[in-house]
């Protein structure tokens, strides 16, 4: 059952807009990066961004509206998987974009098929493993927040300018002030207020351009196989299957984190339906020529911060995403938010995700030195390769894709070390119940 389901529709709509703005830039970044690297025309890029936003709404709806086959029914937002950028560019350059989309469709089918088997591995994710993973997810995203606070591009001459830092700081302080002194609904939309006020201030400081809005078209129709008939090549498919497994591991952590926040135990059936929904979303992404979709971890912090645990706002957010995908000119409004403003909001949200992971780790018995080592090494590895990805530059290209992923390294380390150290005395399954703290000593 959803909590706070008595929230009014207008309030739910505003909260849904807040979720949308929190994930918008992260999601449109993927098609922009890939389209730029593969030299797409401006017309192709416009299609790509618009249909990407449309499919984000469809993918989110697949998770929200649960049934016997798919959908986890948690307040989750789905967006393009950032970890897919490098391998998709590699496939597009080595082969062509039809091969790229064939690999995406095949990977989505693979995720759907193995969902049941992968869900049975939930015992590999006790609080020790999941808490370490969520902590790494949050902390590894904070450098992205700081990059945005500095201005977005580290190569720009204005990166780290006083105006950028001031705008980012004002956004953070405003969000903090609303959370400290705000009440009721205003407090629950602190991130949204910070984004809007920050953008207005950015406009005053001549840091906002309306050119994306002027250049966007008014209406757009999603077209299957827009870039041609997909091609299926085995090495490309294998690469995207492995990337999909990384996404499934990350989604597992997000599902458990949200389950903990909304006081709902996440079982094997929930995980299976959640993975299936993502598999369907990835297949649809390939069919409509966008990209793989995965559960966005940044929205976990937003659910925690707003205190609204119902799916209702996220349902509105999914509807808005579909609408914006059909009306590119309106959707372009969300792209005018200055990078420092977005970075300030990200800092708060990603910090909340990290703290959620730390809260999970409080359920672990750290008087046991083995548990302490599992968490310490896993978090250290995850953050290490995130901060210094060049450390794996001499490995084969395929290995680089995986070893440079902090989330994957933290996951593998936590799971394997936990199995090694705790096989005789298994950790309890990840639960959200109050009785979890009453486990045997």
Neighbours of 93 (CB within 10 A): 12
Q: φ and ψ at 355, to 5 degrees?
A: -65, -35
Closest CA to 296 of 22, 15, 8, 14: 22
Residue 332: per-residue pLDDT? 65
Which pTM was predicted?
A: 0.67
User: Residue range 3-29: average pLDDT?
Assistant: 73
Q: Give CA–CA dist 389/400, Å, rounded.
A: 9
User: Residue range 177-196: average pLDDT?
Assistant: 78
Mean pLDDT of the chain: 81
Contact present, 372 and 215 (Cβ < 8 Å): no
Could you tell me if residue 227 is inside a domain? yes
Least confident piece of the model among 1-15, 155-169, 247-261: 1-15
Residue 78 β-bridge partners: 295
Residue 439: per-residue pLDDT? 40
Closest CA to 340 of 32, 17, 25, 15: 25
Could you tell me if residue 381 is inside a domain? no
Could you tell me if residue 296 is inside a domain? yes
User: Residue range 225-245: average pLDDT?
Assistant: 84
Could you tell me if residue 219 is inside a domain? yes
Residue 17: per-residue pLDDT? 80
Neighbours of 153 (CB within 10 A): 12
User: Residue range 356-360: average pLDDT?
Assistant: 82
Please indicate whether residue 221 or residue 173 has the higher confidence score (pLDDT).
173
Q: Give CA–CA dist 15/231, Å, rounded.
A: 41
Could you tell me if residue 146 is inside a domain? no
Neighbours of 175 (CB within 10 A): 25
288-345 pLDDT per residue, tens: 988 888 887 666 777 777 777 778 888 888 888 888 888 777 766 666 778 898 888 8
Provide the domain count of the chain. 1
241-286 pLDDT per residue, tens: 877 887 787 788 788 888 888 888 888 889 999 999 999 999 999 9
Residue 432: per-residue pLDDT? 42
Residue 57 CB burial class (10 angstroms; 0-12, 13-18, ≥19): buried
Contact present, 116 and 279 (Cβ < 8 Å): no
Q: Give CA–CA dist 419/416, Å, rounded.
A: 5
User: Residue range 42-69: average pLDDT?
Assistant: 84
> Is the pLDDT assigned to residue 373 strictly greater than 90?
yes
Least confident piece of the model among 26-40, 203-217, 240-254: 26-40
Could you tell me if residue 3 is inside a domain? no
For 317, the domain range is 9-127+151-336
Could you tell me if residue 302 is inside a domain? yes
Q: Which residues of 178-191 are buried (b: 16+ CB within 10 A; e: fewer)?
A: bbeeeeeeebbbbb
Please indicate whether residue 143 or residue 379 has the higher confidence score (pLDDT).
379
Please state the three-class secondary structure of the chain as a single string: CCCCCCCCHHHHHHHHHHHHHHHHHHHHHHHHHHHHHCCCCHHHHHHHHHHHHHHHHHHHHHHHCCCCCCCCCCCCCEEECHHHHHHHHHHHHHCCHHHHHHHHHHHHHHHHHHHHHHHHHHHHCCHHHHHHHHHHHHHHHHHHHHHHHHCCCCCCCCCCCHHHHHHHHHHHHHHHHHHHHCCHHHHHCHHHHHHHHHHHHHHHCCCCCCHHHHHCCCCCCCCCCCCCCCCCCHHHHHHHHHHHHHHHHHHHHHHHHHHHHCCCCCCHHHHHHHHHHHHHHHHHHHHCCCCCEEECCHHHHHHHHHCCCCCHHHHHHHHHHHHHHHCHHHHHHHHHCCHHHHHHHHHHHHHHHHHHHHHHHCCCCCCCHHHHHHHHHHHHHHHHHHHCHHHHCCCCHHHHHHHCCHHHHHHHHHHHHHHHHCCCCCCCCCCCCHHHHHCCC
Paired tokens of 126: 């006790």
> Is the pLDDT assigned to residue 427 strictly greater than 60?
no
Contact present, 317 and 19 (Cβ < 8 Å): yes
Residue 375: per-residue pLDDT? 92
User: Residue range 86-95: average pLDDT?
Assistant: 78
Counting residues of the chain whose pLDDT is more than 70, the rounded percentage is 86
97-145 pLDDT per residue, tens: 898 999 999 999 999 999 988 888 877 778 888 788 878 877 877 887 8
> Is the pLDDT assigned to residue 2 strictly greater than 70?
no
Closest CA to 410 of 241, 252, 240, 239: 252
423: left (phi over 0), alpha (psi -120 to 50) or beta: alpha
Residue 113: per-residue pLDDT? 94
**Confidence band for 25, pLDDT divided at 50, 70 and 90:** low
Measured CA angle at 321 (ends 144, 200), to 5 deg: 60
What is the crossing angle of helices 42-64 and 9-37, to 10°?
140
Residue 188: per-residue pLDDT? 65
Neighbours of 296 (CB within 10 A): 25
Residue 342: per-residue pLDDT? 81
> Is the pLDDT assigned to residue 433 strictly greater than 50?
no
Alpha-carbon torsion (192, 196, 202, 207), positive or negative:
positive
Could you tell me if residue 169 is inside a domain? yes
């Amino acid at each position: 059952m959803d909590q706070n389901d008595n929230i009014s529709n207008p309030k739910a709509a505003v909260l849904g807009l807040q979720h949308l703005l929190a994930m918008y830039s992260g999601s449109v970044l993927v098609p922009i990066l890939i389209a730029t690297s593969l030299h797409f025309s401006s017309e192709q890029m416009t299609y790509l961004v618009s249909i990407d936003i449309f499919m984000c709404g469809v993918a989110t709806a697949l998770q929200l509206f649960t049934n016997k086959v798919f959908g986890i029914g948690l307040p989750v937002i789905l967006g393009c998987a950032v970890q897919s950028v490098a391998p998709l560019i590699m496939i597009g350059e080595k082969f062509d974009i039809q091969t790229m989309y064939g690999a995406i469709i095949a990977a989505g089918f693979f995720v759907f098929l193995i969902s049941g088997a992968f869900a049975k591995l939930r015992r590999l994710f006790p609080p020790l493993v999941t808490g370490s993973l969520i902590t790494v997810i949050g902390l590894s995203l904070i450098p992205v927040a700081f990059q945005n606070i500095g201005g977005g591009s580290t190569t720009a001459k204005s990166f780290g300018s006083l105006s950028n830092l001031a705008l980012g700081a004002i956004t953070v302080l405003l969000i903090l002030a609303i959370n400290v002194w705000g009440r009721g609904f205003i407090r629950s939309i602190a991130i949204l207020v910070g984004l809007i006020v920050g953008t207005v201030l950015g406009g005053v400081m001549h840091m906002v351009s309306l050119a994306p809005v002027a250049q966007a078209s008014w209406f757009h129709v999603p077209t299957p196989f827009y870039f041609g008939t997909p091609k299926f090549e085995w090495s490309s498919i294998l690469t995207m299957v492995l990337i999909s497994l990384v996404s499934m591991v990350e989604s597992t952590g997000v599902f458990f984190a949200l389950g903990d926040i909304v006081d709902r135990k996440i079982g094997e059936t929930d995980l299976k339906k959640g993975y299936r929904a993502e598999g369907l979303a990835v297949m649809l992404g390939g069919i409509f020529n966008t990209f793989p979709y995965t559960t966005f971890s940044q929205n976990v912090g937003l659910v925690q911060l707003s205190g609204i645990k119902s799916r209702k706002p996220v349902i509105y957010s999914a509807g808005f995403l579909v609408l914006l995908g059909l009306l590119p000119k309106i959707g372009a409004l969300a792209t005018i938010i200055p990078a420092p403003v977005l970075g300030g909001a990200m800092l708060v949200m990603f910090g909340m995700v990290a703290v959620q992971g730390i809260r999970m780790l409080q359920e672990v018995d750290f008087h046991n030195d083995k548990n302490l080592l599992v968490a310490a090494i896993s978090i250290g590895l995850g953050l290490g390769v995130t901060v210094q990805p060049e450390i794996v530059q001499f490995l084969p290209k395929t290995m680089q894709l995986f070893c440079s992923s902090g989330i994957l390294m933290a996951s593998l380390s936590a799971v394997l070390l936990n199995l090694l150290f705790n096989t005789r005395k298994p950790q309890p399954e990840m639960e959200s119940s109050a009785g979890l703290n009453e486990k045997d000593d």
